[in-house]
Structure 1
């Protein structure tokens, strides 16, 4: 493997001084993620100072560091490490010949990014790169760029925001050839007066498009025209995707697969494609259409993309499915513990309702955060999709769930608890063989711990 960065390249990009010659094969700012050959970016934050972890990073095999303080380890000394990381990300974008795709949206960002990576890695094996986890903010995006190998042919970067103006800055770093908005929904509503303002903030992604770039927009969204207007000054081409007549990339035939996914026939401007997606739910049909549109826009192989979508598994915390042992059999555990907003809650409850089960349908739902003054209304509104999904028992976690507990009344068996720790034993006792269990909530609720506790009985 060729070096990702040499100390001289890092010093030039960051405007720093190298202590000596070294080369790195990876980049991280969390000492727990450091592996042999990596560059450790020692950043100072509000809670901690990365310089305290230099010993740990080099013990784990770091080959060098970016530091704003003196150290005896191989390093590039800079005035401020965060600024240096941004500069390194910018230098990576400037040197690459890759086709770059930026992905944002209120829901579906990470799944679409992962599906794009799987599809384009089949087109160019070993030469596709994407941001990992949900590294989509002001530190995660430059880190993901800095990690991009110089030989990369396709780069896929997730970009998130919870305030206006944040995407405008991130898209100028990424400078995508293709910019996707997956969907608009009331996520982070606490910081916006309306959903239309959220659409405006998501539309900022188009401002960084390369000349002649492609904007990919959800046709079925009520904010479609607003997004098109945001894209028009920057995009050489605007492509819409959806299931309605008039979409440029349109699913004109969708049938549910016996295994839970969907079989789809898609009409594109100059082609038709049939493929299967392994993930269940209408939201994944929509995600897949955005993927197909982007693969075509960057010159990828559509047939290979279809194969990749068929084989795509669930992501940890975002739809991963596990069989957990129960006395006399096993239960299905659907892990959606990483994030939640009203739209994604409704979508995953619909998936649970369509699940064929021998036992009961159980939900463990954590509070949805950052919804502002409408928090109670958004939570109470989940009663309808819960009832439509034929849920037999609900365990509700967090004080915000009081409104939903009241809305459900005595319609189904229901328990409301203050925190995840209080829910673990309840969930263990509730689940029996043949049951299907959906666990979903905002990441800050900590339902991942409940998932791991239940998965201790994985079969």
Structure 2
């Protein structure tokens, strides 16, 4: 098998010096993630230094390392390991001759990226590479590039930002042939003057488009014209998606099913009907963006439709499980990874469509919303009432405006943190409930998910994913 990197390939890419030949089949900069045959990049950060963990990395099976200090194992010596990570990502992108898709947006980035991978890999088994987890920042993007095999047919990369200028730098590393903006919402609004500024920052993804590149963006967005203006200098073609018939990829029919949604889409040159296993209107929007990208790279649309029918939710982003509670079971909808006003409203709406004895929303505060944070939190009262939520457990101090708005309207409890929420869980849930857990990642609601899935609240019985 051809190695991902040889020591000499690495040295040529990063302008380093080889000390002991080796072949690597993976790349990591976290020693806890190193596996046999990996390249370990010893990054220096504000809190720690990867050189301290070289012994751990080699004990875990690292084939070699990139270092700037002395190292006893096989390594490539460089001036600056952070610069080398970027250089290795650039070299990986340069040698790959297939198509590259970049994905950004205020909501739906990871779900869209994973759906794209499932849809394209179904027809190109083993030929599609994508960034893992949410590796979408200044270290995650070059790492994901560095992990891309040279013979990849398609690469899919998620790109995120919370300040202007960050996406411009990332997209010039990725150099996509197709660039997608999923949606614009007030995420990270603490760092932007207004939503228009967020749209401008997201539109930076188009700056890295390869010649002949295609921009894909939401027709229904109030920032459509702003995004088109951002794409026009760089894109040879602009493709819009949405519910409006003006969109290049638009909905003809949407039929809710007991499990998922049946969708018929109109594309520029054909129609496509398929089932989306993941429930919720937001997945219809994600699917339109995905189908537009599959069409743009000449992928197998029939295979994409089959992939949507089989696609499970992701942990923290919609994974559904039957979890044991005292004297029975409940449905857990795990949306614990992140939240902003748009994604929160969308998942609450999805909870409202769920058949259940009771609908329970466990909501953590939404971070980085700036001066309008109280307003954004209080405004969730509308979606909660419209969804017919029976009980809401609010977590975090920034949920106080919502707690005030819910007084006398919906049964609720307000607790300061995730630990208090765990303590409140046994009395808050019951057999037959549908339980939505969602909040900003920093509030730590994933711990509630772990408690429920482990069966710790029901005598240790195990969970079952659905």
What TM-score does the superposition give when structure 1 sets the normalisation length?
0.99
Deviation at 1:85, TM superposition (A): 0.3
Q: Which residue is equivalent to 2:434? A: 436
Q: Which residue is equivalent to 2:152? A: 152
Matches of 1:77 and 1:17, distance apart in 2: 5
Matches of 2:244 and 2:327, distance apart in 1: 46
Do the aligned residues in 1 keep the contact of 2:171 with 2:208 (CA within 8 Å)? yes
Q: Could you list the runs of 5+ residues in structure 1 that have no partner in the other structure?
A: none
Q: Does residue 1:384 correspond to 2:386, yes or no? A: no
Q: Does residue 1:372 correspond to 2:342, yes or no? A: no
Matches of 2:123 and 2:86, distance apart in 1: 29
Q: Which residue is equivalent to 1:321? A: 320
CA deviation profile, 1:223-277 (whole Å, cap 9, x unmatched): 0111001000000100000111110001111101121x11111111111111111
Q: Does residue 1:53 correspond to 2:53, yes or no? A: yes
Q: Secondary structure at the match of 1:123?
A: coil
Do the aligned residues in 1 keep the contact of 2:324 with 2:452 (CA within 8 Å)? no
Alignment of 1:46-445 (within 5 A): 46-259=46-259, 261-357=260-356, 359-445=357-443
Moved more, 32-41 or 427-436: 427-436
Do the aligned residues in 2 keep the contact of 1:428 with 1:454 (CA within 8 Å)? no
Paired residues in the alignment total 457
Matches of 1:15 and 1:371, distance apart in 2: 42
Structure 1 segments of 4 or more deviating over 4 A?
none
Q: Secondary structure at the match of 2:122?
A: helix
Deviation at 1:328, TM superposition (A): 3.4
Moved more, 174-183 or 389-398: 389-398
Deviation at 1:186, TM superposition (A): 0.3
Deviation at 1:429, TM superposition (A): 2.2
Matches of 1:188 and 1:439, distance apart in 2: 21
Deviation at 1:19, TM superposition (A): 0.3
Do the aligned residues in 1 keep the contact of 2:329 with 2:431 (CA within 8 Å)? yes
Q: Could you list the runs of 5+ residues in structure 2 that have no partner in the other structure?
A: 456-462
Deviation at 1:454, TM superposition (A): 1.2
Deviation at 1:150, TM superposition (A): 1.0
Matches of 1:337 and 1:302, distance apart in 2: 31
CA deviation profile, 1:147-204 (whole Å, cap 9, x unmatched): 0011100100000000000000000000000000000000000000110100000000
Deviation at 1:327, TM superposition (A): 3.3
Do the aligned residues in 2 keep the contact of 1:364 with 1:427 (CA within 8 Å)? no
Deviation at 1:381, TM superposition (A): 0.5
Deviation at 1:448, TM superposition (A): 0.4
Q: Secondary structure at the match of 1:363?
A: strand
Do the aligned residues in 1 keep the contact of 2:68 with 2:78 (CA within 8 Å)? yes
Deviation at 1:329, TM superposition (A): 2.3
CA deviation profile, 1:17-74 (whole Å, cap 9, x unmatched): 1102101000010111110000001000001111111111111100000111111111
| CA-based RMSD | 0.7
Matches of 2:228 and 2:281, distance apart in 1: 23
